[in-house]
Amino acid sequence: MPKRICAGSTSRKNTADWAAGSWTDEQKQKYLPRVASGQSLAAFALTEANAGSDAGAIATTATKDGDDYILNGTKQWITNGGEAEIYSVVTKTDKSKGSRGATAFIVEKGTPGFTFGKKENKMGIRASATRELVFQDCRVPKANILGKEGLGFIVAMKTFDMSRPGVAAQALGIAAGALDEAVKYSRERRQFGKPICSFQGVQFMLADMATQVEAARALVYAAARYIDTGAKDVSKISAMCKLFASDTAMRVTTDAVQVLGGYGYMKEYPVEKMMRDAKITQIYEGTNQIQREVIGMNLIKEAASKKA
Ligand SMILES: Cc1cc2nc3c(=O)[nH]c(=O)nc-3n(C[C@H](O)[C@H](O)[C@H](O)COP(=O)(O)OP(=O)(O)OC[C@H]3O[C@@H](n4cnc5c(N)ncnc54)[C@H](O)[C@@H]3O)c2cc1C
């Protein structure tokens, strides 16, 4: 019976060790300088129409054919889809093994059989392209496997460990920006003959917003510092900072719209956009329900290892 794998769980031992070897030296030399220099964008493709939080349900297949694999399937809602040159694509190489039959591949834009489908029309982050990736008999060499055959989910989950603080930083920036806008506006807007910042009701909102932003900043920086130590058990703090910073961004941007009143609801002011942009940070890179699941599972695992 395969273990349930969701967009965030790390359910095998020594996952960090496995993932540390994900990229071969040849792959690093071939792809990373292009990404680091800004010459090429990269994208990560796990989600499918019927596999979101339940990432183990992916149906895209990679079938071995000599020294190559033939990819078939459709990935959905891929950030930078169509814009990126380099894609990490998680597939099933052995459906009978469930999540243990998954394998991640590097696939380059322009590979025959790899095309792009629908571009999404989104609520927020509208400057970021989100597209379908379509694989139809797309031949990819064995040399493009990330890690090893069968370790695709470990690669995916360790990717999340590193990318969630990035989403947390995105959320923190949105929240801090919304707070700045709210403070600025509250000093300019006059009602009842006074700036609205002179009303305690508004001050208390600003105070709560500022306190939440500082708490989120502290947690995001703590996570980044911990990851920089090279620690391997980063899943919990990575999930915590993404959860807290994104919930903060949603609350703070909603309150910023409130501080601006009707003007906050209008597109002339930036806070309605910030509120729309904040929402995605609670959803992608694993929803915040899934982050809580990751945190809970890690707490229990830590308690069990202390007892043993
Ligand atoms: C703009 C955008 C960009 C994206 N970019 C990428 C990308 O680049 N690459 C990529 O692979 N994916 C990407 N995604 C996909 C994203 O990661 C998924 O949308 C997300 O993981 C949730 O999956 P889902 O939308 O299918 O929701 P579902 O899994 O269907 O969840 C629906 C609801 O049920 C809840 N739920 C599900 N399971 C549980 C559970 N076990 N316990 C409690 N609650 C649960 C969820 O929290 C949610 O509230 C992107 C999505 C969007 C919207």
pLDDT at 106 over 60: yes
Residue 123 tokens read as 């609520």
Task: Answer yes or no: is pLDDT of 62 > 90.
Answer: yes
pLDDT of residue 98: 84
> Known catalytic residues?
285
User: pLDDT > 90: what percent of the chain?
Assistant: 91
Mean pLDDT (the chain) is 93
Tally of CA atoms within 13 A in the half-sphere of 202 that contains its CB: 23
Residue 300 lies in a domain: yes
Domain boundary, last residue among 150, 173, 199: 150
One domain for residues 171 and 290: yes
For residue 45, give the ligand 1 atom closest to its CA.
Answer: 11
What confidence score (pLDDT) does residue 307 get? 80
The per-residue pLDDT for range 144-161, each reduced to its tens digit, is: 999 999 999 999 999 999
Q: What are phi and psi of 84, to 5 degrees?
A: -75, 155
CATH number, domain at 223? 1.20.140.10
Boundary-marking domain end, from 118, 150, 182: 150
Same domain (yes/no): 163, 126: no
Q: 105 with 217, same domain?
A: no
Q: Which of 5, 53, 60, 89 to mutate to test the pocket of ligand 1 (most atoms within 8 A of CB)?
A: 53
Is residue 5 in a domain? no
Q: For residue 4, what pLDDT is reported?
A: 52
In a domain, 14, yes or no: no
Q: Is the pLDDT reported for residue 17 higher than 90?
A: no
Please work out whether the CB of residue 47 comes within 6 Å of at least one atom of ligand 1: yes
Instruction: Indicate whether 110 pLDDT > 50.
Output: yes
Indicate whether 8 pLDDT > 80. Answer: no
* pLDDT on residue 2: 39
Among the residue ranges 4-18, 79-93, 168-182, the one predicted with the least confidence is 4-18
Domain hosting residue 141, numbered range:
23-150
Residue 172 has pLDDT above 50, yes or no: yes
Q: Is residue 186 located within the same domain as residue 89?
A: no
Q: What is residue 37's predicted lDDT score, i.e. its pLDDT?
A: 97
135 and 172 housed in the same domain: no
56 touches ligand 1 (CB under 6 Å): no
Of 131, 150, 169, the residue at which a domain comes to its end is 150
Residue 201 lies in a domain: yes
Distances (CA, A) of 75 to 114, 130, 141: 11, 11, 20
Angle at alpha carbon of residue 130, lines to 126 and 133, rounded to 5°: 165
